[in-house]
Structure 1
Amino acid sequence: MVKVGKKGAIYIPKRIMKKLGIKEGDKALLKIRKNRIILEFIPDPFSLALKMRKWAKTTVEEFEYESESDQAKIYEI
């Protein structure tokens, strides 16, 4: 059971947050279905990207070379 606080704030118990991997600052969609409130947490895109299978490989040196080449074209160096 949770209580509704000031300005309608609802605090999720720590044990539930831990079990679901929710942390302060995470974003969620709030939906209403009939007489129920549904929270759907949105994964952080950076964390999600780190967990996904990598499809491209590049080294820091390759990235630097491309960056410098692009800058040279833009600024006509």
Structure 2
Amino acid sequence: MNQKIISKVGKKGVIYIPKKIIRSLHINEGDRVLMSIEGNKLVLEFVPNPLSLALRIKKWAKTSVEEFERESEEEQDELYNP
């Protein structure tokens, strides 16, 4: 998305992000944004939450916690006890 949208600054310097942008970036309450200043521009970058990102992507494998733990222990054993 390469759009420019005008937004107002509210009380206490709060900047409201329009719903259109929130929806397109899948931003949820509590998510983080990185703010930087480039010249006279304020740049906001969405910082994805790894957990919510993992929940949104398509799953291609199924495993149980027990199976994951067993595989992890086997890999660690091979790595540390050759």
TM-score in same-fold range (> 0.5): yes
Q: Which residue number corresponds to residue 75 of structure 1?
A: none
Q: Which residue identity lines up with residue 16 of structure 1 in the other structure? A: I
Structure 2 runs not aligned, ≥5 long: 1-5, 71-82
Q: Which residue number corresponds to residue 28 of structure 1?
A: 33
Q: Which residue number corresponds to residue 72 of structure 1?
A: none
Within the alignment, does 1:46 sit opposite 2:59 as a pair? no
Which of 10, 15, 28 aligns to 1:10? It is: 15
Structure 1 runs not aligned, ≥5 long: 66-77
Q: CA deviation at 1:58?
A: 5.9
Q: Which residue identity lines up with residue 18 of structure 1 in the other structure? A: R
- For these two proteins, the number of residue pairs brought into alignment is 64
| TM-score normalised over the length of structure 2 | 0.59
CA distance 1:61–1:24, change in 2 (3 Å): closer
| TM-score normalised over the length of structure 1 | 0.62
CA distance 1:52–1:32, change in 2 (3 Å): farther
Larger Rg: 1
CA distance 1:62–1:40, change in 2 (3 Å): same
